[in-house]
Every structure is written in structure tokens, then in C-alpha cells.
Amino acid sequence: MKDSRPVLAIDIGGTKFAAGVAEPGGRLIAWAQTPTPRDLDSEQLWRTLDTLLTRVLASAGIAAADLAGVGCGCGGPMEWPAGLVSPLNIPAWREFPLRGRLAGRFGGIPVRVHNDAICMVAAEHWRGAGRGRSNVLGIVVSTGVGGGLLLDGRLIAGASGNAGHIGHVVVDPEDGPPCVCGGRGCLEAVARGPALVSWAQGEGWRPGQGDATAKDLADDGAQGHPVGRAAMRRAGRALGIAIASATHLCDLEVVSVGGGLSQAGAMLFDPLEEALRTHARLEFARQVRVVAAALGQSAGLVGAAALIFKPKRYWSGD
């Protein structure tokens, strides 16, 4: 008999905690979110999450006993598959045993935790822009640059669950900015939102109210501001170079680009394509297609659900 039980999906990031109840096809029948609390200790954060989960299950009319499992995406780094999480943007959790705590809360059913970027990529492959393709790289450009890699139809974990870290592929070793990883000129160091903002400010861009974001920069670019346009070109070019390298290495069919910056449209994707076509010269590499991610805000939850619904493709942790 086909299992029709729903999955509880969780997405934990530096700006919000989100949770949803997903059907086997990936549709969310209920979801809720709360801003990631600041200035709370580790246990208080856990209670915030626990309350959110109780609330979303109640709104879906689902008892914990009716679930097929719990899938969770969380900001990295993490010890995988053990699920000890130390999200860069959530300082209160350092080696917090998220998978173990969830397993304790929902005793007996499968509980799986993976990197949030990996979950978004799984979602794009399962239900989004990578659907029907077997060799897909997904990139998520926001405050960092994350990614995940599917080859021969399966998510690749690597030795420690970290395969697909496209953000730290080097695109400009000589003149690129220093990276949070300690290196220089990584894709992330060039193209992450805060890096673009500080580059643009160095070029004389002066944002309006409040803290400047890459979205303000993209909006100004869309209005014709030359530094805004140049910043999108800078990010697009870096992405194109990294994608060319990844394509040659992995013989990719499709690369999906998601995250806030992917909303910038042609301003980002035209220079990306130009750099990609400059550097992807071999016949097989010229076939790769780069597309904007198709799933919006829900991708993290859909991908977390995929860890439970489609383990043959998206979970090799145990």
C-alpha cells in the first residue's frame, strides 16, 4: 500500500524558522514561520522551534503519530549526518544536537537534517527547475553562496556531506576579496549580498534608508544606477566562471540559481551567460543550461520534506 502519510518539514535560517506539513507529492497543506529570535539561549531557541512545530501540526489537524517522518534543513556548518548544527547566523547554537532533539520529540519515526542549501537544491530537482534532469547543480545566492550537486539522479554527499560547496570555488585568486573561509577570491567572497554591497559602496554607491542590502543594489541597478548594474555584472560574471568550472568537472545538464539575487533577472543572468560561454568551451560543456530557481520561499520546506519522501535520491546519511 502506498504511504500517504504527511511529513513535517522544517527550515531553520538566520532570519526565520519555518515549518510546514507536506503531502507525498510535495504540496504544503499548512505552514507557519517566526522570525529567528535574537538574544535567546540554546534551550529557549529550541522551545521557540518546538512551539512553532506544535502550532503548524495543530493548524494542519495532524497528530505527531500520523507523520511519516520529519525533514529539516538548517544553516551550516553542521556535523552530518549526526545533525549537530552550528549555524553561522545563529550563534546560540554551537554543535546543538538538532537531529537528536527532534528524534526525541518525535520518537520512532525517521528524522533527517541536512544543510539548508542542499534542501533547496533537492526541492528544485524534485519539484522545480531541475525536474526530469539527472545532473544538476543548484546554487543559492543570498548572505552566503550555498549549493548542492546531483549526479546520475542522486544527491552527492561527499566524504562529510559537504559536496557541492560551489561558494568556495575560486573565481578571482589575484584581485578577489578575502573570504570568510580564510581564502581569497571565492565565488562567495565576490557574489554574496553583503560583499556586493560593500564593493558598491567602495565604488561610490550611497543607498537610501537603513541597512543596505543586495536587493537595494539590484533595485537601483534596475532604475539605471551604473554602480548597481556593475555590481550585478560583477556577481553574474563570478557565477558564470564558477559554473563553467563545475560544468567541466561534473558534466552538468542544468544549473539552477536561486536565493534573493536571482530575482535580479537579465542584469545578473546576461553577464553570467557571457562569462559561462567564454569559459565553457568543450562541446559537452556548451550544452549546459542555467535557469532561475522555480520554487520561491517554499523551496526550503519542500526540500526538507524530500529527505523523507524520496530518500533514495536525496538522503544517503544512514
Task: By CB under 5 A, name the binding residues for Zn ion.
Answer: 168, 179, 181, 183, 186
145-151/154-155 β-pairing: antiparallel
Nearer CB in complex with Zn ion: 183/260: 183
- On whether the CB atoms of residues 230 and 131 are closer than 8 A, the answer is no
> Shortest approach of Zn ion to residue 77 CB, angstroms?
13
- Closer Cβ to Zn ion, 25 or 178, answer by number: 178
Q: Is 257 left (phi over 0), alpha (psi -120 to 50) or beta?
A: beta
DSSP code, position 36: P
Which residue, 36 or 143, has its beta carbon nearer to Zn ion? 143
Nearer to Zn ion, 144 or 258 (CB): 144
Beta bridge partners of 11: 18, 73
Q: Residue 131 corresponds to which amino acid?
A: R
**Grid coordinates of 74:** 538548517
Residue 50 in grid coordinates: 518546538
Least Å from the CB of residue 145 to Zn ion? 9
C-alpha cell at 87: 549555524
Closest of 34, 99, 29, 101 to residue 62, by C-alpha: 29
Nearer to Zn ion, 108 or 178 (CB): 178
| For Zn ion, the closer CB: 10 or 145 | 145
Q: SS3 of 9, please?
A: strand
For residue 257, the minimal CB distance to Zn ion (Å) is: 18
Helices 226-250/214-222 angle, 10° precision: 110
Query: With respect to Zn ion, which residue has the nearer C-beta, 78 or 145?
Result: 145
- Shortest Å distance, C-beta 182 to Zn ion: 7
Minimum Å gap between C-beta 180 and Zn ion is: 6
DSSP code, position 76:
S
Report the C-alpha gap between 134 and 155 in whole angstroms.
Answer: 10
Q: What is the dihedral sign for C-alpha 62, 65, 66, 71?
A: positive
In angstroms, what is the minimal distance from the CB of 239 to Zn ion? Answer: 15
Least distance from Zn ion to the Cβ atom of residue 268, Å: 20
- Reported as half-sphere exposure (CB side, CA atoms, 13 A), residue 264 has a value of 36
